[in-house]
Each structure stands twice: as C-alpha cells, then as structure tokens.
C-alpha cells in the first residue's frame, strides 16, 4: 500500500508523537501507583443500578428508538429535555438549537470541520484542554494562546488577539477549567460576550463540569449572557441570534462510556452541525441517548449530580489541605470550586517532566503542564485530578509529590 | 456571529441541498405508504431480549468496561473476538489489525481524513453508497466513477482509471452492493487485488452485508485474497502486508443504534486510524462495544444472522416474483444473493424521479438512482429494499410500481 498520507495528517502525526510524557505516564499506570493524572470521573459514582433499569426499559419498551438508525440531530425527546434544562439556566434554547454529539470531543471536531480552513487562527486559553488542540490541529488551525489567571481568560489580551488575528472562533472553558481548575469571573464573562458581539467572532463555550460546582454560587454561562444581549431571543423564546456555541455533556454526570453530549447552537448553526455530523458518524448511539433521556424523565439527574459534587468536594478539600501541609513555599496552586482538576505552578526554572519521572518512581503520578500550552511554555506547571482517588490516598500522594518537589528544589 | 464557513464546507452544503428527491421521500414517509426506500434493517429482527440480557450483564458485572472512558482503538476483548472472526473467513487479523469505529460511516470519514487532500481522486463504483460520497466529499475528494455490471466492478475500466487518475484509494462494495444488489465475481476479486498490488493503491472494502448471504456460496473477501498474496502474512499470522482495508459492522447483524463497526487494517494503518479517531470522538460507545462482545461470547451471533438471512430471502423471493409478474418488458433488475437491496433499470430515457412522484401518490416509495452516481447518470434507475416489508406488502407495492411504470411507458 502506498502510505501517501495527506499533508495535514503528517502534521497531526508529528503532534501526537512529540509527547515524551506518554511513556512516563504509562509507567505511572501500574496498579500500585497513586494516579492523579487521569481526566476521568470516579467510576464508583456511576449510577449502575439506575442505568441498568433505564437500559432495560428503553430496550424492551422502545426498541426502535434505542436500536434502529436514528436522526443525525439526535433523539427528539432528549433534545426537548435538554432545551428545557438549558432554558432553566438562562439559555433560551428550543429543540432546534440542540444538536447531540458523540461526546464533546466530536463537537470540537465538528467545529473544526465547519469553521477551520488550513492556516485559520483559533484562539484558545493558555493552558487549555488537550483534546481540543488535537481536534482543531487536525484541520490545520493556527492555534494562538490567550493567557488566563485566577479569574479566567484575560479579556484585554483576548480583545487584542481577536483584533490582531481575526480568529475563526475562540475556545473557552469558563467553569472549573481543564487543566487549570479556575472559574471565569462574572465581569470577565460579560466582557467576553461584548467582545464577541463587537467583533462578530464565535465563542465555543465548553462546559462539561458546570453542574459539578461544590462551592459558591453558579455563574451564568457565556451563552446565557450572550442570549440576553439580543431582544430577538426573548421575543422568539429561542436562541435565534448570538455568538456562543455551548457544549454540555453527560460524560461527567452519568458515564463517559455512553458518549452522549450536546451542543446549543445559536441561529441556524445547529443545521450546519447536523450536516457536518452526517458524514462523520451518521448519528450518536441511539441506546445511549435513549438511556440518558429516560434517566432525566425519571427525575434522577439532580440527586446523581449532588452525589458527585459531595464526593469531589471532600476530595478537593483533602487535596488542598495536604498541599498546604506538604508542598514547600514558592509552589502555587488553584482552588477549584468544582470539577475535577487543580493546577500547580512550581517556581520558575523547575521542570515538571523531570519531577514526574521521579514521582513515578515514588509511585505517584500527575500530568505535566507543557502539552496544555500551544506556545511551548508551562514547563513548571502540572495538573492534579482529585476525582478518582479517595481522601486518604490523596493525602499520601500529595505527601510523596511534596517530597519529590523538595528534592528538586534543594 | 460571522457565518464565515470554510470553503470545503460551502461545497458540502451545495452537495447536500441539490437533492430534490429528499422532499418527495418525505412525502412518501407517511405511515400508509409502502416504503421500500429505506436503507434500514428490519427492526422486528432486533434480538431485543438477548440485547437486554447482555446490557444487564455488562452494566452490572463490568461497569467500568461499559461505562468509563475506553481506549480509542476499542474494547480489547471485542477486538480479539473480531480478529478471530476475521481469521475464520480468511483474513489473518490479530487484535492489532482491528480498529473499532462508531458505525462504518465513521470509518469512511476517517479514510477521508487520513488519505484525502483537497482535489485528490478517489475511485468509487458507479453507482455507489451515498454516505461514502458524503464522507469523501467533505475532504474535497475528486470522485470518479468506475462502471459496474452483474459481476461487480468492471476491472478493465478500474485498471485504466487507476493508471490515469492515480487515486488515493478505491472504494468498493463487493457483496450485495448498495445500491445495486450485485456481488463481485471471484475472478474480478482476484483481478482487483492484483491491480492494487501492481499500482500500490489502497482498496477500501465495505462489507456491511457480507454475512447476510441467503443464496449461493460465500466468496472470499478482497482482504482475504490480498492477504494471501504476501507470504509475510502467513509467516506473521497477521495482516502485516497488504492493500485492503476491510470494513465490517454490527449495524445489520445486531442493531444500528449501537453504532459499533470495525475496520481491519493491514500493516500499521490501524494506528493511523486510531490517531485520526482520537480527535474525532475519542472512542466508540463503550456500552455498545461491551454488549456486542458479550453477545458474541455467548455464541448468539450465528443464529441471529441465520434468522435475518431467512427473513430477507423470503422477502427477496417475494420481490423478484412480484417483479416478474407486474413489471413490463424492458425493465431490468438485479437478483441479489444477500443483503437488503435490489436495483431496477428502466428503459433509456425514463426518469425515476418523475416515477417516484407518481408512485408516492399511489402510496409506494423507492429511491431514485441518480444520486448514487457521481457523474449525473442513472436517471432511469432506482433502488428497492426488501428488508423492512413483509412479503404480501412487497407484492402489493411492486404491483403499484408496475402500474406506474406502465403508465410512464405508455
């Protein structure tokens, strides 16, 4: 076979193989290692019995809906439920604004497919979610990073870069940022949607963790603030005008293995999504959609989400307390109010990859931060997940990392 | 929002909206219409009770496997089972040759992603599967049709076009072709893999219906014939060298709503598939994969496939008999030995779209053939599916179509 891969694919290959960290993380995956490296939710919180009940229900009571070919835009009942859920949090969505995707990863891919021609600029936070970089890179995007701090994306830098680079869209994670664990302030959110309006630039708001807030009051989504700006939306009772594509997911609320997520699209963008999706995978698992829909219909989602919040809060607390006790001075970290991740910044000049190598030998693992940056910075940063490790184990893991940090500092 | 779609996307939009047939087919979808238009399997044959049992089993006995994030290449147990199944039919696959996809539609999309740069030629049969055209078009492929007849693709034309157009790959449906219902002869199959070898051109062998043979003896797949050519494969007990990517699917064997298919990839192509898939949707539904794997493990697949074959054979017989009785002289049709589809060719100059308009009024529907051709031909052809309609209803539907044809002829 002539392995005459396309040019864009060669670029992708390069991107995927330059990460030496993969190898170390493989070592760190041995069962006796305390891994705070994953991006996974806690499997012990999967509502197994309830999912078993809804699977039985939809397979036997609605076999065509759960087993036959489905519509590319998604199961109508689920789209209607999601429109209601979105409206309750201030996004005036109707079914026509909702497109189901096979995980949010697919929604990121479809955004690339719809918007990005070779060389087009996409603005991303610096750091940002690795999977998004992979999706956008596959379409030849020129990725430009916008700095973030404890209040989320720096809006002055954002405005300047929007003006200078004329991006096809801006990708943002306002709640409990992956990897940084920070939450965008209300003031910044308002400014982001102003910038979007002023420059006519689409915003891709990725919110897989939004419902998992375990501290403080919820903030309105960018989509909700954006929708408020245009009287057409209130008049239509729909998100007919706006600049924000909002992504939600069942992966962290129910189970990622179902691969069911959704996009809220303003105007006629949902139709573009659906056309792009048709050639990509025809439709999302009908069984997964039917199960999510029945789970919501039975009213089980709020208690399930609360159970996750309670567990993650306890683990976040354990992690923050252990860091205060075991990490040396000069090491900074974020204080997530929700989600799965906490971000650590070592003193300038320290190398998180070298740290991981030694940490892996001490049977503890995290993810070095550099790959989350598009500009090669972040060498002195790393990500910790508190989602999948019980509090006592977190304390032991943080203690070990603290010892390795001290050894590297001294 | 600036609706500054990318250039390739605009092309796609044009492609999707030029089909006036969609509107007629919508009318034809009313519940009192006899529809032989769908590409769907018979829902009454879904093994509901068995799927319910395996869903319960995997959710309660293997919740991590069925609900947590999974590997991009697929559930290892399923990949191993598929490697065995493929080896039994002469493709010397190991797990490393198998990549799971979210339906074969995704595999088609990934082939485009891996191989096709704007303007690259892809050879397809004329006619061919519409969904493949959509996937390849999205990557800017220059689609060139190769004629087929009752023995499948015309190999002399194929060789000439391979030489002249230097395609990135050739897309073929050897068994019970969609839409044409024909099966490629053994002699042609041998010639196709010779051409692939001689010119180093990859073949994409799409075989969703292969196991659904209800007449005659099975023929070896292109992948099996290709693998035989290179002693390296027998020596390695794996498909280490070759030119054929084989696509199989559970959509027509179990249920399409699960969205579980697989690609058998020679050499290191599976790794390319997996890298391309990672950015596309991370992985295929873990639940669907676990259910398919457990279904196979329990040994239920052969009887399920036999049940489908028996039903479809009875319906194919009813359709062929009714055509012999009700269609006028001068109308030709294929005699499928498996699968779902039968292809009708009207006398030159007749228009299947005009026919459908009148047929829809008589409450019977089929799919006009022109959209299955990349060169605008096929105006006098249409596709019938016998999969979803009971024999008596098929007879009534064919009778009505025969009357409409006579009216158009006379």
CATH at B374 = 3.90.1150.10
Q: Which residue on chain A is closest to B16 by alpha carbon?
A: A275
| Domain-embedded: residue A250 | yes
Q: Does A62 touch chain B (CB under 8 A)?
A: no
Would you state the pLDDT for residue A23? Answer: 65
Q: Chain B 89-148, CB below 8 Å of chain A: which residues?
A: 102-103, 105-106, 108-109, 113-117, 120, 131, 134-135, 137-138
Q: Is the pLDDT of residue B125 over 70?
A: yes
* Yes or no, beta carbons of A202 and B1 under 8 Å apart: yes
- Size of the A and B interface in Cβ pairs below 8 Å: 246
* Yes or no, beta carbons of A115 and B4 under 8 Å apart: yes
Per-residue model confidence as pLDDT tens digits over B211-241: 999 999 999 999 999 999 999 999 999 999 9
Q: Does B252 touch chain A (CB under 8 A)?
A: no
> What share of chain B has pLDDT > 70, as a percent?
93
Non-local CB neighbours of A18 within 8 Å, separated by 6+ positions? none
Domain termination site, one of A299, A316, A342: A299
Residue in B60, B113, B251 nearest the CB of A52: B60
* Yes or no, beta carbons of B283 and A8 under 8 Å apart: no
What is the arithmetic mean of pLDDT over B262-286? 94
Does residue A273 sit in the same domain as residue A403?
A: no
Does residue B279 sit in the same domain as residue B369?
A: no
ipTM: 0.95
Chain A residues close to B138, C-beta within 8 Å: 113, 276, 279-280
Q: Does A275 touch chain B (CB under 8 A)?
A: yes
Strand partners, B343: B383
Does residue B75 sit in the same domain as residue B199?
A: yes
| Domain-embedded: residue B6 | no
Chain A residues close to B67, C-beta within 8 Å: 43, 46, 48, 51, 255-258
Q: Which residue on chain B is closest to A134 by alpha carbon?
A: B279
Per-residue model confidence as pLDDT tens digits over A43-97: 999 999 999 999 999 999 999 999 999 999 999 999 999 999 999 999 999 999 9
pLDDT tens sequence for chain A (410 residues): 655 555 545 444 444 444 556 666 676 678 899 999 988 999 999 999 999 999 999 999 999 999 999 999 999 999 999 999 999 999 999 999 999 999 999 999 999 999 998 899 999 999 999 999 989 998 899 999 999 999 999 999 999 999 999 999 999 999 999 999 999 999 999 999 999 999 999 999 999 999 999 999 999 999 999 999 999 999 999 999 999 999 999 999 999 999 999 999 999 899 989 989 999 999 999 999 999 999 999 999 999 999 999 999 999 999 999 999 999 999 999 999 999 999 999 999 999 999 999 999 999 999 999 989 999 899 999 999 999 999 999 999 999 999 999 999 97
Chain B residues close to A282, C-beta within 8 Å: 103, 105, 131, 259
Per-residue model confidence as pLDDT tens digits over A211-248: 999 999 999 999 999 999 999 999 999 999 999 999 99
Tokens of A385: 């997940």
Does residue B39 sit in the same domain as residue B57?
A: no
- Asked if the peptide bond before residue A179 counts as cis, ω within 30 degrees of 0, the response is yes
Would you state the pLDDT for residue A323? Answer: 98
Does residue B80 sit in the same domain as residue B119?
A: yes
Shortest alpha-carbon distance between residue B265 and chain A (Å): 11
* Yes or no, beta carbons of A46 and B67 under 8 Å apart: yes
Would you state the pLDDT for residue A13? Answer: 46
Does residue B106 sit in the same domain as residue B226?
A: yes
* CA–CA separation, A314 and A311 (whole Å): 5
Non-local CB neighbours of A375 within 8 Å, separated by 6+ positions? A126, A145
Q: Chain B 377-406, CB below 8 Å of chain A: which residues?
A: none
Number of domains in chain B: 2
* Yes or no, beta carbons of B287 and A286 under 8 Å apart: no
What mean pLDDT, rounded, does chain A reach? 93
CATH for A68? 3.40.640.10
Q: Could you list the residue range(s) of the whole structural domain that residue A394 is in?
A: 12-47+303-409
Beta-strand ranges (E) seen in A185-320 are 203-206, 244-249, 261-264
Would you state the pLDDT for residue A18? Answer: 44
Does residue B193 sit in the same domain as residue B67?
A: yes
Q: Is the pLDDT of residue B15 over 50?
A: no
Does residue B42 sit in the same domain as residue B142?
A: no
Residue in B56, B109, B281 nearest the CB of A105: B281
Q: Which residue on chain B is closest to A257 by alpha carbon?
A: B67
Helix, strand, or coil (residue A341): strand
Shortest alpha-carbon distance between residue A105 and chain B (Å): 5
| Domain-embedded: residue B348 | yes
Cβ-in-10-Å burial (0-12, 13-18, 19+) of A305 comes to: middle
SS (H, E, C) B231-259: HHHHHHCCCCCCCEEEEEECCCCCCHHHC
């Amino acid at each position: 076979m002539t392995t005459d891969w396309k040019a864009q694919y060669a670029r992708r290959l390069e991107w995927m193989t330059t990460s030496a960290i993969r190898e170390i993380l493989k070592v760190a995956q041995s069962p006796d290692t305390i891994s705070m490296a994953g991006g996974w939710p806690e499997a012990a919180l999967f509502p197994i019995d309830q999912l078993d009940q809804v699977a039985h229900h939809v397979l036997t009571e609605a076999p065509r809906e759960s087993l036959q070919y489905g519509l590319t835009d998604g199961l109508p009942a689920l789209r209607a439920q999601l429109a209601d859920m979105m409206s309750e949090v201030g996004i005036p969505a109707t079914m026509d604004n909702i497109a189901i995707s096979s995980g949010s990863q697919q929604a990121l891919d479809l955004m690339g497919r719809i918007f990005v021609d070779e060389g087009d600029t996409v603005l991303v936070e610096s750091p940002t979610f690795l999977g998004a970089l992979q999706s956008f890179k596959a379409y030849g995007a020129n990725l430009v990073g916008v700095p973030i701090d404890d209040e989320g994306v720096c809006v002055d830098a954002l405005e300047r870069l929007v003006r200078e680079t004329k991006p096809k869209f801006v990708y943002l994670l306002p709640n409990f940022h992956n990897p940084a664990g920070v939450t965008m302030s209300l003031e910044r959110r308002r400014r982001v949607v102003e910038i979007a309006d002023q420059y006519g630039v689409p915003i891709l708001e990725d919110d897989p963790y939004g419902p998992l807030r375990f501290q403080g009051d919820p903030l309105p989504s960018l989509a909700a603030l954006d929708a408020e700006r245009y009287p057409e939306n209130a008049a239509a009772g729909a998100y007919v005008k706006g600049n924000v594509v909002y992504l939600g997911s069942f992966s962290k609320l129910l189970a990622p293995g179902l691969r069911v997520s959704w996009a809220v699209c303003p105007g006629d963008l949902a139709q573009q999504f659906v056309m792009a999706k048709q050639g990509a995978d025809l439709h999302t698992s009908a069984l997964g959609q039917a199960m999510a829909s029945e789970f919501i219909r039975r009213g089980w989602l709020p208690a399930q989400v609360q159970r996750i919040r309670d567990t993650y809060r306890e683990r976040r607390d354990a992690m923050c307390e252990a860091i205060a006790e075991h990490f040396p001075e000069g090491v900074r970290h974020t204080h997530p109010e929700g989600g799965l991740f906490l971000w650590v910044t070592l003193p300038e000049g320290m190398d998180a990859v070298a740290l991981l190598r030694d940490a892996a030998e001490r049977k503890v693992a995290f993810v070095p931060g550099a790959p989350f940056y598009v500009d090669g910075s972040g060498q002195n940063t790393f990500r910790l997940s508190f989602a999948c490790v019980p509090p006592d184990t977190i304390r032991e893991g943080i203690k070990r990392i603290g010892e390795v940090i001290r050894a590297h500092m001294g």
